[in-house]
Every structure is written in structure tokens, then in C-alpha cells.
A and B are shown apart, each in its own frame.
Chain A
């Protein structure tokens, strides 16, 4: 886990990152079919959501079940903002405001985070879950702001490159999230988070700045999530409360992390790349009927019960075992 060599910068690591991101970047220029780019958009969206969630849920072990509330806040922020200001001649202004959205939401969540982190991890999960419902409630009820269940529209884009700008927008946020996750894994903040996950009271006792680390990481995580929500809102063009703050999106952000490996850098990405196409296929097969939910629940349960460690850590553990077994005959351990 922590001590794994993947935490260091290696030539192989750089090549790997270049290949993956190069591939993502080239994708919409190589493949033109709308449905394909649409699916890729959602794959990257969930990869970004998973990566952001990973910072607090994977590294620090604090399962936040309310992250999607901030996704929704980001979405509504974007929609409300662009009722008042123009999207620009090239339709790209909604992308440029993203950092602002992220920063604003990140700052605003600090007091909430400070309160929520006064509890143990289990209570934290409950508080965040409650936050999800409250924000969804607010989205339905604050008519003046959100137009409630009627939904809110965003001005349609003025560019004609179809999905490509949206894809690139969500790719940019995902790349940022991955960069942050990679850096945190190597720096002292990451070490503090892993210690917190391992034994928080002991970490506090030996002098780790537990409160600051948790709140800061949460704020960053939430800011990224809000940015993705904003891109999503612009992409869809019309948002409703039950879809902007949707428990299924929350699950969709968390599952890839556990499938791929919580606390790793590439785990959430791998998880999203597997789950999103699978989920789209499930929706295609069963979406019309209620079987979709049952199938989804079954996949959810399967992953949590059979592979909670995640793919990447399991592979690493197996490789370690092989290495030890290969080394053993050569001499005393």
C-alpha cells in the first residue's frame, strides 16, 4: 500500500501517464461517433468524481456519502450564473469560470467540513448522507433560486464542435484531480492522511495535524466535484434537482474507487473505465424496466463483498507474494 514503489516518480510512471492522457486527449479527434464520445464523457466524468472522492474517501478513509451534493451545487451554480451573464461569442466562458466555481464551493464547504469532522468516521458518513438529502431538498424547495422541480436551463453552446469541448472540459478537470491525487500520494499531506486512516487517535497523539489535513483535503475534493458538476450542467443544458443531486451518482463515484483500489492513483480511473461502460450497457438492456436498479445493486454488492480491496492493490499483493516465493529458495528470509 503506502510503502509501494508506485509512490515515487519513475520513468515508467511518466511514460504511463503520458500514454494514458495522450490517449484520452486524442480520443475525440480519432473517434467521431456521438454515442461514443458521449459515453467517453461520462467515463471521464465518473473517473474525475471517483478521483476527487478518493482524496478523502480513499486516502483518509473517511467515507463521504454526500459528495454528490456538491456536484449538484456546482451544477446549479453554473446554471444560475449563466442566467445572468453571457456565455460569450465562442460559448467557452462556462469553462473558464470553472476554477472560480471550484474555489468558491471549496471555501464555502470549510465550515460544514469542520463540523462534520468533529465526529468519528462512521458518524461522518451519516452526516454527509444527510447532507445529500438536505441539499436535494433545498434544490426542490428554493424555487426562487432553482425553479424547483421545473428545472433550470443553461443557454445552449454557440460552438458547433458538438461534444468535443465538453469532453475536453471534463478531461481537464479529471486531469487536475489525478495530478492532485498523484502529488498528495507523495507529499506529507498524503502521509498524514494515511496515518489518519490507519489510526486517527494515535496520529493525533503523535502530532499529526489531523483537523487541518482532513478539512483541507475535503475542501479540495469537494471543489473538484463541483467543477465536474458545472461541466455536466453545461453539457446537459437542463438540470433537475433529482438528477443534479442523485444518490445513484454518489454510488457511481464511490464504486470505481473500491473496484480499482482506494488510496491508489490509477485505481479510481481503472474502476471508472470498467464500470461506466458496464453501467451504460445495463441501462441500455434494463433501463426501461426497474430491473436496472436490481442489477445495479447486485453489481454494487458483488464488488463490496468480493473485491473490497480493489483490483490494483490485489494485483500488487499477488505480485509481492510471487516475488517473495521466488526469492525464498535463494536464502534465509
Chain B
């Protein structure tokens, strides 16, 4: 259990990017540099606050504000670190990437200015709402924050305002809003039963609901779990609620794709496990259901990824598959399983952000994203090729990259818990992921140069893009070689989900 200390930091981490968004909308017409500077300051400020929060939570101290409505423990810190860290890298990447869009879209200067105001303003709100979800301890406000992140990213998905982007934006907002509404029912059920046991104010707090979840009636457990899994699972890209994901992730501007796949899915899975895991100790079928749906998701995602010719859609389907792996880890339900699930959350966030940003660099230089129209690009873009290769190996679970460590941990956890069927499917799906990644690397970067690649003007991406990619590639490699570096923070985060007030007869107890 964490010691609790009152602190303004959990509020600040949300307020800083929100303030940046407001300033961008107010002063957006002054110049490009205003958007860019404010966005950088906003997300860097949030990252700084996150580091300050993490410094305390890793030592076992939880920070709370406003009577524990805002609450940051080591699990929150992990998600905050991903949101603000990858948010910062995506913003740095956006500087050159979005400037090119503004300069080459053949739009009047005022229109370009307006579009970049919209982009950076909503980007900051997107980051802020995801951070809000990470620190919300109020079960209803958790839903509100997760839905707010959908609203904040809706116009970013439709940003290019062409037929494909508008279709993706409509589907994204409609499907996610309907899906997430189910999670509201789940949250309200938790509150309704919790409030009747411990009072209205405490019945809203997830930390307090966790203490009494073992006494919930079975009907409530089943209904609430089903609503929460469908609701937050839709947002997390869990099959069969995933059809919005490839459209939105592929059609959004690349830095947004990196945030959607790298971070937003993790925020949704965080909301899912933060709420549903309160039932794990006393009601083991909930965990088994999560395991089953996780395995189903990883199979569906991999099969669909195999059939794609669009580089970004392929990566998006791969995200579906990897979220299945994450849910599989949580569904195993043991201490190792939860640790492994969180480890894969961290690793996939980095690897998938890297892959999307590398795909964006390819589009930046060639203007093409169809795999069949690319080839031999490594000769002209060696740094991007190296980074994409690193990301591909990481998500395929090949040593010495980070994905290997977390996938191995999930499989070992599955084996130890006796879920051999899931382990077997997990290994098979991992091989399919390797085939998908190898096909993409070979077709895009190896072999003879395609006409699109051989064209004059195709060259390595600018320094501000490649630096971001290299940082992520080195992190994937570094964590893979030295996983101990993240062991303590992950173990501490896993312990939050392992708080077992009613462990008697539970699945976790039986694993010990």
C-alpha cells in the first residue's frame, strides 16, 4: 500500500497542457512559432511534473489532490510517463512534419495558420485529457476523461479533411462514443453498489471501491465487468470492438497516429484494468474472460495485419494484436502476468510510436504509403530503415529488443498459471507478427528501388524527425538489453493492481 501525501502535482500535470491549448487557440494567429513554442512548453511541463510525481511514487508514496479525486500512484505514474514522454517526442516530430503540410498543401496562409492552430490546440487537449484519465480516482470522472480524450482527438483524426479522413473521423467519434457509453453504465453500477455500502462520496473513489469489491453481489460483478470490458475495451481496440482503429490510426496525421496507437490505447487499457481488476481476487472468471478475449484479439489483429498493403493500416492492425497480448497478461491474473502486461504496455508504446513515426518519415520523403509501391528505401533513408527495423524486431519479440522481454514474461506467466492453450496461441501469433514485420521491412526497405523511391528528391528525413526515432529505437534496444532498468517501477505499478483485500480462495491466492 502507498503512503498518501497531499500534492498539487496531479492537478498541475493536467492543467499545464490545458493552459497551453487555451493559449494556442487565443494567440494562434500570431505565427507558426507561437503554436510550436506553446505546444512544446505545455507537453514538456507535463513531462517535468510526471518525473516529479514518479520520483515520489516509486518510493511508495501516492500523491492526492481535492480529497483524493486526483490520485497518482506508481501505476498512474507509468501511464503518465508514457503519455507525456511520447507526447513530447510526437510534438518535437510534429514541428517539421506539420510545417511541411502547411507549406505544401497549397492553402492560403491564413488557412494554413488556422489548421496548425487546430492541430496543436487539440493535440494539447488530447494529451491533457489522457493525463486526466491517468490521475482520476473518481470512477465517473474516469469515464468522463476517457471520453474527453476521444472528443479531443476527433478533429485530429479528420484533420486532413478529405474523403478518407472525414470517413475515419465520423466512424471514430460515433463508434467510440457508443462503445464508451457502455463503460459509463459499468462505472455507475460500481458507484451505485459502492455508495450503498460506504456512502456516496467514498463510493465514487476507485481506491475505496477496491477495498469492498469482494462483497459486491455477483449480478453486479458480471454486469459491471461486461459493461466495462465492452466500453473501455472498444477504446483499447479489443476485438471484436476494433473496426474503428485501423481507419482512425491510418488516416490521422502521423504524430497523432503515434499517440493513438502508442499511448491512447494504453490509457484505455489502463482504465479497463484499473476498474475491472478490483474484482480479480474474489471473482476469478472475470480474469479468465479477459484472458479469452485477449487471445482472440491477438489472433484477429495478426491475421488482419497480414492482409494489409497500406503501411499505416498494417501497423494499426498490429496494434490490435499487441493489445491482445497486453490483455492476455492481465487476464492471466497472477503477479507475474500483471507485471508482464504492464511491461508490454511500456514496450509496445515505444515500439509502435517508433514504427508509426518511421512510416511517417517514409511518407514525408516519398509521399507514398502503399507497401507495394515502395522498395529499396534503405539506400536513401538508412537511419529511418534502421529505426523501422528496430521497431519491427521489438514488436515481433526478437532479442535483444524490449518486446522479447515482455512477450517472454507473458508466456512464462501463462505457462506457470497452466494456461498452455493461451501460450501456444501466443507463440503462433508472435510468429505471424514476425512474418508481417519481415514482409514490411523487406518490401519497403530492401531490394531494388521502386520508381517512387528512385525519384529525385527522396532523401533521409530531417534531423528533428530522425532524432526522435533514434531516441525511441535506442530505448527499445536499451530496455531489451537491460530490463532491470524498468523492473522496480513496473513491479511497484503491478503491486497497485495486486492489492488484495479479499484474497481468500481467489485465483491469485492459489498461485502463491
Do A and B pair up? The answer is no
